């Protein structure tokens, strides 16, 4: 039996099933939210990593930044200038040709021209210009693929940082350092200081650095003389100075200038009318001509440059803006160089022979000019000489042709001339064989074919006495050196270091160590005179034998042999007798001679060997000149000097050659005249040095130096010097106002030839220099020191002269062999103590 349903509804009759009620709609999740959150997390992570990386990069850049604070006191490099004693410019020393101008002296419009061209927002930004960076990126995107270089966005401050501190590497790291430094520079320096550094430091082409040098280089004007168009042109240069040089690229230079003018008008720096006038202005460059320099004294100038580097360092010497005033006398320097060349050419014509042409070129009517033009000029050829090609040769003459032009802007023009056989008698052939006694030369040429052949390239000089005729020339192999100095101060007035600085920069006057030969002998006689030995004391002129570890040394007089007689010390020095000199050195000891050489600065630490008494040591021409100067000024040490004073770029004297103190220079107009205090060291007895001067006058009047005084008609003293095998020739001489030392020889020591002595080669050069120096001046006698006795004595040849004695030694000459008296003894005191002679 079915259990009845408890559900009343269940009993109801069942009809069709009712549809279920509709389900509530489910809310669908937004899928993009997860992606956004992921991107947000990635962005946050990337920002965090970027911040950490940026912070690390910042610290890395900061640690590597150079010190920029020194720019507050920065002074840019400036040219140093060297001047002669008469204020003529000798040379400019410069790593960069720059003239520094303070910002106050730079016209405001010129400043604005650079700001308009390079950094329009310079006055507003803080070192970097974000707007300019964005503009550069946009411009780059617009021109991408065109091959154009990306436009720069550097500010003037960034350019200062790049030029002065970080360099110009094209890397992002360098750019970041540059930007960071620019921000710091703006906090440290004023805008005016940054602009001042920029306008004085920037390279402007034409070897000019800074706006002042550029104004001179392009327009030969000062800054305050520039027109608006010229200012705009200068402001256009920093971008690419070589591309806008108006002499080579006039049209690009004009277009770039006009662009700057438009920028200036936009910025309100000029009016529209001024801009129109400036654009219409012709861009005409007038390059400045370098100032004329003294055409002589290159060896002197090079020694000055080396001394500046030694005293102040290379950077200060070439970039410190120094004003260097030297002791060079240009007229005397020119005379010294002329005398040197005349002397070396005279020897070369006498002993040099003909060494052949300087080259050969193919000769033809249409090809010789191009070949000769392409051939380099022989180094050392004088300005008056021409490099010519031999066109034709006959028995008696040779026709030559050369090229000439007045200046580099005009084409070459052909010239021709004739060499006569009579003018080539010196061009003898050099014969093979040993040259211990000089070159062996053949006979004088009989036909022109013996000397020249067609196609030879030779040096010729037009003959002013015979138009159309030229003289065959040859660069001499022998060299010479000259120093002329003031004995009162040591100032070197002239210095010639060789035939030509172009051929050899080696200064034989200051750098070459050569044996002085007999010109050293006064330093042997001086200690004898200091010991009281009178000048008329006799010594035997007989053979001397000196035992040495290498064997017996037997010195001899010039020409060999000896007189066998007793001669006075005066006569021995005048005639340069070696045997007597050795005997005197033995008597005073070589230790004393070495001490004298050291005191006078001739040879420092000279070994005390007897051979040194005959000049076997080594010294320089400068040292010999300064040592002889000590004879003139009473035995005081003379230090040779090239530089009188050095001023820095602000005009302050930072070094002075004359170290003597000026007493009374600070006094008023009514005070006593100022005097210079004598502070030079006394290195020898004044009476003894005057005795040497007195004897050396005799060496010129009666001895080996006769050619040195010819025609001078004034008191001249000096001594010749000739070394073994005639390798070195010397003459060192002086008047009361000037000392001149001359050396003559070959760079690689070899014999000049038999009988080629200092009296033959060096003394005439001395005479020519001295004649040029003293021309027009009255004769001045040598001043005797207080206390000296001037006594008239009679020489062996019957001549009489005033001899200088130390008081009490007038009759002190001792017999040589115990029987003969000192001939030439004093007869009577004629002029007492001191005085002029």
Cα dihedral sign for 590, 595, 600, 604?
A: positive
> How far apart, in whole angstroms, are the C-alpha atoms of residue 703 and residue 650?
55
The helix-helix angle for 228-236 and 211-219 (nearest 10°) equals: 110
Q: What are the CB-based long-range contacts (under 8 Å, 24+) for 22-29?
A: none
Q: Which of 734, 837, 819, 794 is nearest to 568 (CA)?
A: 794
Give the containing element (helix H, strand E) for 491.
none
CB 593 within 8 Å of CB 612: yes
The dihedral over CA atoms of 214, 216, 218, 223, expressed in degrees to the nearest 10, equals 70
As beta bridge partners, residue 756 has: none
CB 85 within 8 Å of CB 329: yes
Radius of gyration from C-alpha coordinates of the chain? 43
Strands (E), 103-240: 208-209
> How far apart, in whole angstroms, are the C-alpha atoms of residue 711 and residue 732?
18
Catalytic residues: 118, 518
How far does CA 619 lie from the centroid of its chain?
23
Quick one: tokens of 610? Answer: 């007897």
- Count of CB atoms situated within 10 Å of the CB of 282: 7
Say which residue the tokens 């210079």 belong to: 676
Q: Which of 287, 307, 317 is nearest to 94 (CA)?
A: 317
Quick one: tokens of 400? Answer: 């030559």
- The residue count of the chain comes to 837
What are the residues whose beta carbons fall under 8 Å from the beta carbon of 148, sequence distance 6 or more?
none
> How far apart, in whole angstroms, are the C-alpha atoms of residue 423 and residue 276?
69
The helix-helix angle for 32-64 and 172-188 (nearest 10°) equals: 70
- Count of CB atoms situated within 10 Å of the CB of 453: 13
What are the residues whose beta carbons fall under 8 Å from the beta carbon of 506, sequence distance 6 or more?
497, 498, 512, 747
> How far apart, in whole angstroms, are the C-alpha atoms of residue 596 and residue 618?
15
Quick one: tokens of 715? Answer: 């008191």
| Collapsed DSSP state (helix, strand, coil) of residue 614 | helix
How far does CA 351 lie from the centroid of its chain?
33
Q: Is 206 left (phi over 0), alpha (psi -120 to 50) or beta?
A: left
- The number of CA neighbours under 13 Å toward the Cβ of 745 is 29
As beta bridge partners, residue 718 has: 733
> How far apart, in whole angstroms, are the C-alpha atoms of residue 145 and residue 131?
23
CB 675 within 8 Å of CB 663: yes
The dihedral over CA atoms of 565, 519, 557, 756, expressed in degrees to the nearest 10, equals -130
What are the residues whose beta carbons fall under 8 Å from the beta carbon of 21, sequence distance 6 or more?
none
- The number of CA neighbours under 13 Å toward the Cβ of 111 is 17
Strands (E), 580-680: 643-647, 653-656, 662-663, 675-676
Strand order in the sheet with 800-805: 800-805, 783-794, 828-836
> How far apart, in whole angstroms, are the C-alpha atoms of residue 643 and residue 84?
9
């Amino acid at each position: 039996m079915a259990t009845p349903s408890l559900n009343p509804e269940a009993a109801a009759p069942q009809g069709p099933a009712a549809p279920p009620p509709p389900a509530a709609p489910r809310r669908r999740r937004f899928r993009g939210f997860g992606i956004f959150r992921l991107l947000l997390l990635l962005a946050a992570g990337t920002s965090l990593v970027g911040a950490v990386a940026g912070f690390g990069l910042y610290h890395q850049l900061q640690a590597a930044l150079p010190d920029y604070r020194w720019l507050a006191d920065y002074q840019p490099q400036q040219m140093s200038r060297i001047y002669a004693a008469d204020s003529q410019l000798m040379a400019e020393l410069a790593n960069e040709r720059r003239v520094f101008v303070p910002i106050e002296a730079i016209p405001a419009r010129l400043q604005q021209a650079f700001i308009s061209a390079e950094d329009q927002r310079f006055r507003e930004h803080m070192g970097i210009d974000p707007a300019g960076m964005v503009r550069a990126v946009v411009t780059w995107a617009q021109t991408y693929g065109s091959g154009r270089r990306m436009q720069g966005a550097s500010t003037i401050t960034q350019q200062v940082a790049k030029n002065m501190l970080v360099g110009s590497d094209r890397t992002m790291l360098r750019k970041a350092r540059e930007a960071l430094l620019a921000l710091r520079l703006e906090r440290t320096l004023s805008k005016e200081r940054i602009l001042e550094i920029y306008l004085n430091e920037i390279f402007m082409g034409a070897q000019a650095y800074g706006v002042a040098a550029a104004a001179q280089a392009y327009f030969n004007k000062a800054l305050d003389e520039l027109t608006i168009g010229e200012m705009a042109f200068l402001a256009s240069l920093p971008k690419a100075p070589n591309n806008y040089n108006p002499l080579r690229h006039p049209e690009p230079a004009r277009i770039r200038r006009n662009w700057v003018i438009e920028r200036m008008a936009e910025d309100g720096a000029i009016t529209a009318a001024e801009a129109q006038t400036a654009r219409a202005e012709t861009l005409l460059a007038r390059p400045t001509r370098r100032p004329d320099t003294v055409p002589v004294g290159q060896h002197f100038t090079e020694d000055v440059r080396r001394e500046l580097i030694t005293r102040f360092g290379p950077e200060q010497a070439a970039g410190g803006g120094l004003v260097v005033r030297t002791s060079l006398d240009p007229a005397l320097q020119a005379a010294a160089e002329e005398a040197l060349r005349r002397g070396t050419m005279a020897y070369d014509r006498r002993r040099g022979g003909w060494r052949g042409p300087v080259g050969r070129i193919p000769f033809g009517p249409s090809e010789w000019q191009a070949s000769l033009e392409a051939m380099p000029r022989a180094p050392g050829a004088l300005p008056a000489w021409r490099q010519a090609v031999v066109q034709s040769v006959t028995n008696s003459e040779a026709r030559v042709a050369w090229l000439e032009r007045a200046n580099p802007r005009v084409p070459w023009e052909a010239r021709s001339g004739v060499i006569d056989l009579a003018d080539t008698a010196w061009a003898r052939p050099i014969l093979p064989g040993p040259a211990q006694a000089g070159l062996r030369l053949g006979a004088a040429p009989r036909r022109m074919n013996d000397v020249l052949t067609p196609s030879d390239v030779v040096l010729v000089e037009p003959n002013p006495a015979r138009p159309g005729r030229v003289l065959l020339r040859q660069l001499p192999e022998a060299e010479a050196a000259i120093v002329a100095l003031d004995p009162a101060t040591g100032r070197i007035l002239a210095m010639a270091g060789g035939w030509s600085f172009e051929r050899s920069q080696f200064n034989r006057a200051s750098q070459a160590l050569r044996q002085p030969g007999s010109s050293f002998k006064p330093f042997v006689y001086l200690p004898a005179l200091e010991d009281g030995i009178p000048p008329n004391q006799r010594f035997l002129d007989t053979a001397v034998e000196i035992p040495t570890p290498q064997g017996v040394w037997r010195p001899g007089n010039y020409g060999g042999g000896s007189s066998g007689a007793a001669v006075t010390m005066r006569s021995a020095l005048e005639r340069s007798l070696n045997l007597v000199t050795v005997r005197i050195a033995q008597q005073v000891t070589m230790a004393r001679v070495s001490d004298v050489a050291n005191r006078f600065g001739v040879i420092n630490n000279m070994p005390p060997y007897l051979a040194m008494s005959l000049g076997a040591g080594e010294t320089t021409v400068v040292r010999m000149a300064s040592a002889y100067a000590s004879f003139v000024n009473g035995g005081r040490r003379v230090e040779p000097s090239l530089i009188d004073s050095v001023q820095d770029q602000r005009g302050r004297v930072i070094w002075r050659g004359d170290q003597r103190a000026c007493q009374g220079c600070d006094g008023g107009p009514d005070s006593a005249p100022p005097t210079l205090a004598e502070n030079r060291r006394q290195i020898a007895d004044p009476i003894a040095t005057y005795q040497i001067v007195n004897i050396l006058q005799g060496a010129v009047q009666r001895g080996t130096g006769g050619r040195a005084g010819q025609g001078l008609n004034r008191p001249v003293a000096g001594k010749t010097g000739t070394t073994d095998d005639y390798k070195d020739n010397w003459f060192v001489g002086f008047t009361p106002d000037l000392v001149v030392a001359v050396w003559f020889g070959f760079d690689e020591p070899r014999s000049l030839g038999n009988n080629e002595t200092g009296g033959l080669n060096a003394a005439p050069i001395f005479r020519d220099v001295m004649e040029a120096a003293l021309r027009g001046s009255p004769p001045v006698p040598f001043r005797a020191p207080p206390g000296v006795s001037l006594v008239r004595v009679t020489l062996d040849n019957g001549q009489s002269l005033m001899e200088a004695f130390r008081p009490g030694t007038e009759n002190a000459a001792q017999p040589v062999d115990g029987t003969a008296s000192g001939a030439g003894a004093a007869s009577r005191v004629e002029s007492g103590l001191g005085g002029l002679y």
